[in-house]
Amino acid sequence: MLVDVSAVTRKLAGGCTLHVDKPLPKGEPLDVRAHLASIDDNGRRALLTVKVVTSPKSSPDALRADFRALVPLGKGSGKSGDRPRIPPEARRIGSFRFGKRTGLDFAKATGDFNPIHWAPRYAKAMGFRSVILHGFGSMSWAYEGLVRGLFAGDVKKLAMLDANFVRPLVLPARAGLYVWGDGEVGLGDAPGGPAYMLGKYLSRR
């Protein structure tokens, strides 16, 4: 499959499945391995999945992640029915306030300086009302919210978090973290309201 280089520069984070098999030890070198696992092209977009394994010497394969990136191909309307929402029965376990500089702060922390997250004019030129939060920013806040809200700060309890970035979170904004059903989690405005991230989590007994 051939992908237009200009389209690749507009790629967006689609989601991530993170398996935490063992905690990463402090002060120990990390061996990180990554490979492109698959490309799914439906004519409107290409979905790239990259598998990454992080292994300290004392804990092989401690952290496993499947990163999903969306590349728009400019074909078709892209319409996909109802927009994702937080279920009415969801329970809020955390609240977050994201300022105008949240995208820039996250970029400084991670090295992901895509200008749609910190340059308003560029974000608007790409079709957004203003800058948007990194998808992995929403996932990191969800991870922290689950650890604090469900596991009393015990990071060893969260074994897996699967996150799908379903709608851009325009900054500044406020959002809640919600759980429901059998391990369902979402970041959104309110029960019954729009969702920005939807996913699942697994706990470790």
- The Cα 15–Cα 126 span in angstroms is 20
Instruction: Work out the average pLDDT over 74-80.
Output: 55
Q: Which of 74, 91, 115 is the last residue of a domain?
A: 74
**pLDDT (0 to 100) of residue 10:** 58
CB of 53 closer than 8 Å to CB of 64: yes
Band of residue 45 on the pLDDT scale cut at 50, 70, 90: confident
Strand partners, 164: 15, 198
**pLDDT (0 to 100) of residue 4:** 42
**pLDDT (0 to 100) of residue 76:** 56
> Do 36 and 109 lie in a common domain?
no
Residues in contact with 199: Cβ distance below 8 Å, sequence separation at least 6, in sequence order: 15, 142, 161, 162, 163, 164, 184, 185, 186
User: Which CATH number do you get for residue 169?
Assistant: 3.10.129.10
> Do 59 and 147 lie in a common domain?
no
CB of 41 closer than 8 Å to CB of 80: no
> Do 60 and 101 lie in a common domain?
no
Q: Which of 44, 74, 104 is the last residue of a domain?
A: 74
> Do 103 and 45 lie in a common domain?
no
> Do 52 and 114 lie in a common domain?
no
Count of other CB atoms within 10 angstroms of residue 126: 14
Band of residue 49 on the pLDDT scale cut at 50, 70, 90: very high
**pLDDT (0 to 100) of residue 44:** 87
**pLDDT (0 to 100) of residue 142:** 97
**In the predicted model, is pLDDT for residue 191 greater than 70?**
yes
Q: What's the pTM value of the predicted model, to 2 decimals?
A: 0.87
CB of 4 closer than 8 Å to CB of 44: no
Tally of domains within the chain? 2
Q: Which of 74, 106, 131 is the last residue of a domain?
A: 74
Tell me the three state secondary structure of residue 18.
strand
Instruction: Work out the average pLDDT over 52-59.
Output: 93
Burial zone of 3 (CB within 10 Å; 0-12 exposed, 13-18 middle, 19+ buried)? middle
